[in-house]
Amino acid sequence: MKVAVLYWCLFHVLICFAEVTVHLLTVPIGMAYSREQLMSIRDSLPSNIRLPPATLSQIRKYDLNEIPATTRGTRGGRNAQRPINVVNSFDNRVKAEAQQGPNLHNLVNVKQVSSSYIKAGLINCRSVKNKSDLIVDHILDSDLDVIALTETWLTSDENDNIAIGNLTPPGYKFHHVPRTGRKGGGVGILFRDTLAVTVKPTVNASSYESIEVSITAISVKIKMIVLYRIPPSSTNGIKKQNFLKDFADLLEKTSIEPGKILIVGDFNIHWDKKTCPETKQFSNMLNSYNLHQYVDGATHVIGHTLDFVIARPAEDLIQNCKIDSLLSDHHAVHFHMQCSKPHPPRKLITYRKTKDIDTEAFKNDILNSDLYNAPASSLEDKVKQYDSVLKSLLDKHAPEISKKIAQKEPRPWMSDRIKSAKRKRRQAERRWRRTKLTVHRQAYQAERDNVNDLINKEKSKYYNDKLIIVRVIKRNFLELSMTY
C-alpha cells in the first residue's frame, strides 16, 4: 500500500516540475544570464506551486515525510548512545590560543593497570648433568623467573652437587626430588631468590613423581605442582589406569585447598590424539574440576604434545603459553603467570660524565690552580695537593652522579663468537619450524650443539684465566716476602 501511495505522490511531483519547466522554456536561452534576467525568471514563476491536499494527507498518513534518525553527533556504544555536548565559547577559544604547550584540561585520567607478571618455563631436561650450561643460558636469555624441570636424572648422592651448582645461576635457588631405587626421572624447580617460594611435603604416588611449592606474590597465592608421569610398562608394573586414579586423588586433594592451582610437567599422554581413550578420560577429568590444558602444539621431537600446563580458566592465571626452543628431545614451554612479582634487587652506582667535559676550560683551570701558581715543596705535600686540586676540578666539570640500577646475572664468558653462534642457531630453528623437514631439524641440532660447546669452552677459559691470575699473584707475593 505504501508503495502505491509513494508512486502516486511521485506522479504529482512530476506534474509540478513540468509546470516549472514550461515557465523556464519561455525564457530566452543565451550563453549567460544577467541578474535582471534571473530575477525576471523568478518573478515569472507561479508562487502557488504545491502538492494537492489529498497527496499531502496521504504522505503524512504513512509517515513518508519523516526524516529517519541518524547517529551523527552522538557517541558510539552498544548499550546507549549519548549526545555529544557542544560548547561554543569565544572566551575558552581565546584562552586555548593564548596557552603555551599542551592543554592539560584535554587529558583523560587513564586507570593504570599493572602489567607485571612472572615469566615461567617448563623444560624436560633428560639429564641436567650434560646440559647445565645450555639450560642456564636458555634461562638467562629468556629472563625466566620460575622454571619447572622434569627428568633431571639427579640422585641424592653428594656427587651431584657439582651438577646442581652448575645448573643454578646467580640469583636463583633450586629444589628437587630425585628418583630413588633406579636411574632416570626426578623433578625440580628453579626460581629467583627474590620470590617468596615455600617447598611443600612431597606427595608419594606409584605412577608419578612430583614436587609441590607455594608461591606468594603480594596478595596472590599459587600452588604449583611439577609432575613427571612414569611411563607405564611391563618392567615397572605400572598400568595406565594407575596414573588416572592417582592423579584424580591429587586433584581431589588440591581442589579444596586455598590458592590458585597450577600443575605443569611431562604427563606422557598424547594430548594431540583426541580420539585416544586415555586422552578422553584425562580431558573429562580436567573438565570435571574446571581445569584447562593450555599447551597447544607438539612438544616432543616426534610430534606429540606430552608437556602440559594446567590451571583454572576462571582464575585467569596463565597467559601467552607458547612452545620454545628444543633443548633435549622435548621443547621448552614458556608462559606468563598473571601476578605481580617483587622488583629485582638494585645497587647504587656512582659515575661521572667525563665525555661532557670542556677540555679547554678544564686545561685553563689547571693552569690557574695552585699546581702551577703555588706548588708544594715536599713530595708528600705535592701528592696531597695534586689529589685535592684535581678532585675539586673534576667535581666542578664532571660531578659525581648516583644512580640505582637493577642487578643482572653476570655472564662474563659471553663472547662475540657465542652471540654469532646463537643467531645462527635461532635462524636454523626458525627454518626447521617453518618447513618441518628432518634435514632442517638436524641442522638446528648441529647449531645447538655448537653453541653448547662454545659456552663450555669460553666458560672453562674464563675460569682458567682467573686461576692463572691468582697463581701469578700468589707467586709474586711469595717472592716478595722471601726478599724481605
pLDDT for 236 equals 85
The predicted model gives 89-102 an average pLDDT of 50
Class of residue 279 by CB neighbours under 10 A (exposed 0-12, middle 13-18, buried 19+): middle
Determine, yes or no, domain membership for 198.
yes
Radius of gyration of the chain from Cα atoms? 40
pLDDT for 50 equals 64
Determine, yes or no, domain membership for 191.
yes
Nearest Cα residue to 329 out of 299, 307, 356: 299
User: Do 224 and 132 share a structural domain?
Assistant: yes
Determine, yes or no, domain membership for 52.
yes
Determine, yes or no, domain membership for 106.
no
pLDDT by residue (tens digit) across 372-417? 888 888 888 888 888 888 888 888 888 988 888 776 666 777 788 8
Would you state the cell numbers that stand for residue 238, as one nine-digit string?
605400572
Nearest Cα residue to 324 out of 120, 116, 115, 117: 120
User: Do 287 and 152 share a structural domain?
Assistant: yes
Instruction: Tell me which of 170 and 52 has the higher pLDDT.
Output: 170
Neighbours of 163 (CB within 10 A): 19
User: Do 428 and 395 share a structural domain?
Assistant: no
User: Do 373 and 331 share a structural domain?
Assistant: no
User: Do 325 and 310 share a structural domain?
Assistant: yes
Q: Which range, of 12-26, 58-72, 164-178, 368-382, averages the lowest pLDDT? A: 12-26
User: Do 311 and 252 share a structural domain?
Assistant: yes
C-alpha 206/C-alpha 392 separation (Å) is 73
pLDDT for 189 equals 96
Rounded to 10 degrees, the C-alpha dihedral 447/448/453/454 comes to 70
Domain containing residue 479: 412-484
Determine, yes or no, domain membership for 205.
yes
pLDDT for 250 equals 94
Out of 280, 309, 337, a domain closes at 337
User: Do 328 and 352 share a structural domain?
Assistant: no
pLDDT for 299 equals 95
Determine, yes or no, domain membership for 316.
yes
Q: Which range, of 8-12, 422-426, 443-447, averages the lowest pLDDT? A: 8-12
Would you state the cell numbers that stand for residue 417, as one nine-digit string?
663468537
User: Do 396 and 298 share a structural domain?
Assistant: no
pLDDT for 278 equals 94
Confidence band (pLDDT; 50, 70, 90) for 190? very high
Class of residue 208 by CB neighbours under 10 A (exposed 0-12, middle 13-18, buried 19+): buried
User: Do 391 and 243 share a structural domain?
Assistant: no
pLDDT for 311 equals 96
User: Do 192 and 302 share a structural domain?
Assistant: yes
Most confident of 12-16, 285-289, 339-343: 285-289
Determine, yes or no, domain membership for 275.
yes
User: Do 171 and 48 share a structural domain?
Assistant: no
User: Do 399 and 300 share a structural domain?
Assistant: no
Class of residue 425 by CB neighbours under 10 A (exposed 0-12, middle 13-18, buried 19+): buried
pLDDT by residue (tens digit) across 312-328? 999 999 999 999 988 89
How many domains does the structure of the chain reveal? 4
CATH code of the domain containing 297: 3.60.10.10
* pTM across the whole model: 0.62
Determine contact, residues 255/139, Cβ cutoff 8 Å: no
Determine, yes or no, domain membership for 107.
no
